[in-house]
């Protein structure tokens, strides 16, 4: 089984769902951004997502590549230490990690970029390491 994402973490992030955190985690950056700016579609989308999370988890598990980098670890590092680039160090991206560290996540723009692209970055690194 290609279990790349944790349903437990998905539900923990759902608690903060009005920010779209769980949607970003499951690789849905467009709707994550919409949830962020509309407070989870004024709470209605947030409540509906309570029932949609298992499907989002299965879809993420099918879409992304499992490997030596753990998606959940990368997301926790991004969420809590992202402006310091700790998630980039974890992925072996030392140069950009240093840039994030010295510039506050490249003045927060890079931090937001990583919310949009982290799943793809981790999946690509896992794919490359398997070759």
pLDDT value of position 107 = 95
Q: Of 63, 82, 97, which one is at a domain's C-terminal end?
A: 63
Q: Tell whether 113 is covered by a domain.
A: yes
- 104 and 79 assigned to the same domain: yes
The enclosing H or E element of 15 equals helix 7-15
How many distinct structural domains can be found in the chain? Answer: 2
**In 3D, which of 21, 17, 18, 16 has the Cα closest to residue 5?**
21
The answer to whether 86 and 75 have CB atoms below 8 angstroms apart is no
Tell me the whole-structure pTM to 2 decimals: 0.89
The enclosing H or E element of 94 equals helix 94-107
- 15 and 42 assigned to the same domain: yes
**C-alpha span between 95 and 122 (Å, rounded):** 17
> Mean pLDDT for the chain?
94
**Averaged over 111-117, what is the pLDDT?**
94
**Averaged over 3-12, what is the pLDDT?**
95
Q: Tell whether 2 is covered by a domain.
A: no
- 58 and 23 assigned to the same domain: yes
């Amino acid at each position: 089984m290609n279990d790349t994402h944790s349903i437990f973490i998905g539900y923990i992030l759902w608690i903060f769902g009005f920010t779209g955190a769980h949607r970003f985690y499951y690789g849905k950056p467009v709707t994550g951004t919409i949830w962020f700016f509309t407070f989870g579609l004024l709470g209605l989308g947030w409540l509906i997502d309570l029932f949609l999370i298992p499907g989002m988890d299965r879809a993420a598990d099918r879409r992304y590549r499992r490997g030596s980098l753990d998606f959940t670890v990368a997301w926790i590092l991004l969420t809590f230490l992202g402006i310091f680039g700790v998630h980039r160090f974890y992925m072996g991206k030392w140069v950009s990690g240093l840039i994030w560290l010295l510039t506050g996540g490249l003045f927060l723009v890079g931090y937001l970029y990583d919310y949009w692209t982290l799943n793809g970055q981790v999946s690509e690194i896992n794919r490359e390491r398997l070759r």
